[in-house]
Every structure is written in structure tokens, then in C-alpha cells.
């Protein structure tokens, strides 16, 4: 039994996009470590119903392979790479705590740029030609 099979149940019935991308990442790491499981990857990939979700799964798979490749030259063994990349601490972002900054949630650096200000629909000059286009 490989590292992937120890961590994930391969007899799943349905996956949402987040579960599929997590599994695809783990499959990428496992493949870089020499454990090929293309049938599982194809099943996870085929479970996605939109092109966007399928591309997310493919991207997660490639990212897992790349990060495992970068970790291996440090002299780490397979189990250590797996633990670090797949079993590592999961970071959860609370949507209510997302950084917003500035007006309308724009980042502070972009907030100062006047070129993206929204025109006030009550002002007549909102439909006028912008000053920077005049010679």
C-alpha cells in the first residue's frame, strides 16, 4: 500500500472541487516519489464537471509534483517529503477575516491610484471624455 492509499480512501463516491484538488496534489507528490496511480488521478479528474474544476485538478497535480521535486534534492527521504507536503498543517482562511483595505475593498497600494476610481453616476461629467485623452 502506497503513501496515497494510506492517507486517502480510494473507494470514494463523489468529490467536490476542494477534495479533488487536495487529492490531485497528493497524487502529484506521490508520483514524484515514484508511486504512480494514474487511474486514481483520472477518476478524480473525471469527477469534475466543469473545465475550470478540471484545470484546478490538473494544476494541483502539477504543483504537487513540482514541490516534491524541489524537496527531494535536500536529501529528504520519501516519507519525510510526504509528511511535509501532504500531511503538513492545513491553513484555513475565514472568509470574514479576509484583508480588504481601502475603499470598496481595494488594497491600499491600488487604492491611491486615481485611474480606477468609480465615477459617481449622479455627476454629469461621469460620461464626459476623460481629461487624459484630451491633447
pLDDT digits (tens, 9 = 90+) for 26-45: 999 889 888 888 899 999 99
Give the pLDDT of residue 93. Answer: 47
Q: How confident is the model at residue 96 (pLDDT cuts 50, 70, 90)?
A: low
**Would you list the domain boundaries of the chain?**
3-85, 95-133
The predicted model gives 110-124 an average pLDDT of 59
Q: Which residues contact 37 (CB under 8 A, 6 or more apart)?
A: 2, 4, 5, 27, 30, 31
d(CA 72, CA 69): 5
The predicted model gives 50-61 an average pLDDT of 90
Amino acid at each position: 500500500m502506497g503513501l496515497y492509499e494510506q492517507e486517502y480512501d480510494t473507494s470514494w463516491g463523489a468529490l467536490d472541487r476542494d477534495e479533488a484538488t487536495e487529492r490531485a496534489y497528493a497524487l502529484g507528490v506521490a508520483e514524484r516519489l515514484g508511486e504512480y496511480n494514474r487511474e486514481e488521478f483520472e477518476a478524480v479528474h473525471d469527477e469534475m464537471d466543469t473545465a475550470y474544476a478540471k484545470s484546478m485538478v490538473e494544476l494541483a497535480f502539477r504543483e504537487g509534483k513540482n514541490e516534491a521535486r524541489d524537496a527531494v534534492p535536500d536529501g529528504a527521504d520519501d516519507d519525510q517529503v510526504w509528511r511535509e507536503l501532504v500531511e503538513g498543517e492545513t491553513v484555513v482562511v475565514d472568509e470574514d477575516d479576509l484583508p480588504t483595505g481601502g475603499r470598496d475593498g481595494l488594497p491600499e497600494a491600488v487604492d491611491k491610484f486615481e485611474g480606477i476610481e468609480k465615477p459617481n453616476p449622479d455627476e454629469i461629467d461621469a460620461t464626459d471624455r476623460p481629461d487624459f485623452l484630451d491633447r
